[in-house]
Amino acid sequence: MAHDQSINVISQELENEIFGGNGRRARRARPALTYKEAAREIPVFAETDVLVIGGGPAGTSAAIAAGRVGADVMLVERYNHLGGLSTGGLVIWIDRMTDWNGKQVIAGFAADVFERLPKDAIMGPPRSAWGTRDAATAAYWSHRASAFQGVVTWSPTIDPEALKTVSMQMILEQKVRLTLHSWAVQPIVEDGVIRGAIFESKEGRQAILAKVVVDTTGDADLLSRAGVVSEADIDKTDIHHCMNTAFLLGGVDMERWAALRADKDAYSEFGARGRARIQSFERPQFGWRNDVALFMGPRLSGYSAIDVEDLTEVEIRSRQLTVQHLEFYRAHAPGFENAFLMLGAPQVGVRHSRRFAAANKVTRAQWDEGKVWDDEIGVSTSLAPKWKNISVPYSSLVPLGIDGALGAGRHVACDASSHTFLREIPQCWMTGQAAGVAAAIAAGTRTRPRHVEPRLVQRELLKQGAYLSSGIERSVSTAASAAE
């Protein structure tokens, strides 16, 4: 039986009053005032080798990788869970980890996680299907976000609670000192070197001192506050750089929905009705089980992830649009008659804010050139079969203008075009693992991260199961043999 109870957050009249004709919330002008904070001594909470700020995909993999090298590691996370957008943000569709031939090239931590996840927490094609171009197989998996350009890929959808559990287990196994419900607010900088960070918690303001700091905040918050220059040259109206709060609907039958999607005319007509009713209209993806639907939107453009009023407005609009989607799908979508709002993401979905400056960065020109960096720390799958895998250099993790720090995750050094895939969950796992390895090596040898020998990082990454381009892997093996 379909639900008929309306649960609109606000009335249409109030919505129009709040958001106005341009769809944006009216805001009061901020006072042109300042307040002088009194100087004070801050207690040191801890000292450590490697301090990782942010427990999202990049931060989790960085902390675990550094722990595997033998470093003493602390991880500071503002929420009550690990995984960031891959759990709390409900970005539970994990983008492609295989290349266009079906080889898993984003491996290492990305492979370890899926070995640990329960099988019933994963919906994705079997390994035997990776890379297949069989039309029927590709069509089936394309409806489940695991086939693109007619090729089946390893891009599964997962249970976010299972990933939270596995991430926590892996962190604790490496004896990482995990500090939750804590927000790093300021880097400690002395003579151009980051020596740690100040954080706030229920205990107040405290400090952590570290030999190396890894910024995995996603927005380069610590690096930016240390004075590192960043880039933000994006088209704010581009869907690749929008924001939203994702949500899950339960009580659905996604197989019935898939039947509608397979009917092109019916699917097109349904989309037209949805757009007419809800301008920011989204279609669902399969969850990790048939009775769960994932909505990765509604996607809202023109907002800044580092503006607190924009963040607030995105949350307000997302909640209203979520309810509108629920009611529309209950009324019009096969398999959604008994749908209910299972979860609105605890974390807002941010695609872009800052990309910090580094000596080298991944660029659009590199795609055509097929460049392989000598200091490669991983490769990303490319956007289409016409391009080779995209090599990512260690130097893109080392910020300019500051020492003692590394960055990983969606704010790594790259151009706007390359950011469209380097911000994805597997790529964050990949750059995070590399940053963690490098940070541990730097701390253990008392070397600045920018002076760490890339071959040492590459050698350890290969030990941890990461994938590197064949030429790089051969060079590492040759260098290791010569050293012996």
pLDDT attached to residue 16: 57
pLDDT at 2 over 70: no
pLDDT at 238 over 80: no
Separation between Cα atoms, residue 55 and residue 53, nearest integer Å: 7
Condensed to tens digits (0 to 9), the pLDDT of residues 172-219 reads 999 999 999 999 999 999 999 999 999 999 999 999 999 999 999 999
Mean pLDDT (whole number) for 331-337 = 97
Structure tokens at 383: 């956007």
pLDDT attached to residue 6: 54
pLDDT attached to residue 11: 59
Separation between Cα atoms, residue 297 and residue 278, nearest integer Å: 12
Contact in structure between 108 and 211 (CB atoms under 8 Å): no
pLDDT at 477 over 90: no
Contact in structure between 381 and 421 (CB atoms under 8 Å): yes
Q: Before 298, cis peptide (omega within 30)?
A: yes
pLDDT attached to residue 4: 44
Instruction: Lowest mean pLDDT of 168-172, 407-411, 474-478, name the range.
Output: 474-478
**48: Cβ contacts below 8 Å, ≥ 6 apart:** 72, 73, 74, 177, 208, 209, 210, 211
pLDDT at 12 over 80: no
Type of residue at 285: Q
Separation between Cα atoms, residue 320 and residue 333, nearest integer Å: 19
pLDDT at 1 over 50: no
Condensed to tens digits (0 to 9), the pLDDT of residues 38-86 reads 999 999 999 999 999 999 999 999 999 999 999 999 999 999 999 999 9
pLDDT at 467 over 80: yes
| % residues pLDDT > 70 (the chain) | 93
Residue 26: which pLDDT band, with cuts at 50, 70 and 90?
confident
Condensed to tens digits (0 to 9), the pLDDT of residues 270-305 reads 999 999 999 899 999 999 999 999 999 889 988 999
Q: For all residues of the chain together, what is the average pLDDT?
A: 94
pLDDT at 3 over 50: no
pLDDT attached to residue 333: 97
Give Cα separations from 275 to 321, 322, 395 (angstroms). 12, 14, 44
Determine whether 451 is exposed, middle or buried from the number of CB atoms within 10 Å of its CB (0-12, 13-18, 19+).
Answer: exposed
- What totals of helices (H) and strands (E) does the chain contain, helices first? 14, 21
pTM, entire model: 0.94
| % residues pLDDT > 90 (the chain) | 88
Condensed to tens digits (0 to 9), the pLDDT of residues 106-162 reads 999 999 999 999 999 999 999 999 999 999 999 999 999 999 999 999 999 999 999
Mean pLDDT (whole number) for 101-107 = 98
pLDDT attached to residue 20: 56
pLDDT attached to residue 233: 82
pLDDT at 167 over 90: yes
Mean pLDDT (whole number) for 353-381 = 96
Report the alpha-carbon angle 405-455-451, nearest 5.
35
pLDDT at 237 over 80: no
Contact in structure between 153 and 130 (CB atoms under 8 Å): yes
Contact in structure between 343 and 349 (CB atoms under 8 Å): no
Torsion over CA: 459, 172, 112, 285 (sign): negative
pLDDT attached to residue 392: 98
pLDDT at 17 over 60: no
Torsion over CA: 123, 128, 131, 135 (sign): negative
